[in-house]
Structure 1
Amino acid sequence: MSLQDQFEQAVAESKNLPERPDNLTLLKLYALYKQASSGDAAGERPGMTDFVARAKWDAWDALKGTAQEAAMQQYIDLVEELKAQ
């Protein structure tokens, strides 16, 4: 199974975890997903009044320079950890 296939499977499995992850873990999943699927953060940083969008963008931007394959593997590993809890 290719890394892309494993990543897509992990994305599907992330929607059916036994417990909803905490907000920091959800942000990490979001950021790894965006980095793996789109590369480095793009566009303007959302304004101070949009707290959720700003937190998501900042989490994604923190991964700048991470290779898409590395982000995929980290996402897969994190989903596996969450499934085991």
Structure 2
Amino acid sequence: MENAGQWSEKVLQLTMVNTMDQWVKESTRYRGEEEPSLLDLVSTKKPESPPIIQYLSPVGKSDHVTLEMQMQEEDEISYREDYKEERD
């Protein structure tokens, strides 16, 4: 079984190899007197406008904030055509 450090390294490598962008920038976990931490991630691969992310109150007894994300919808047909052109 892998330890947390090995898992974290694999996630980082996957993100870098696939040129993904990570959009969550603020702490998402608050537990008692512990230092807040950024544990929840939102990553995308294709170029797009950054999502609008709102950090809301936790649901129930969770110590994680609720992330509400709004992304710009892309015209699916033009995206498919661009993809086809790249492959020809």
TM-score (norm 2): 0.27
Greater strand share, structure number? 2
More helix by share: 1
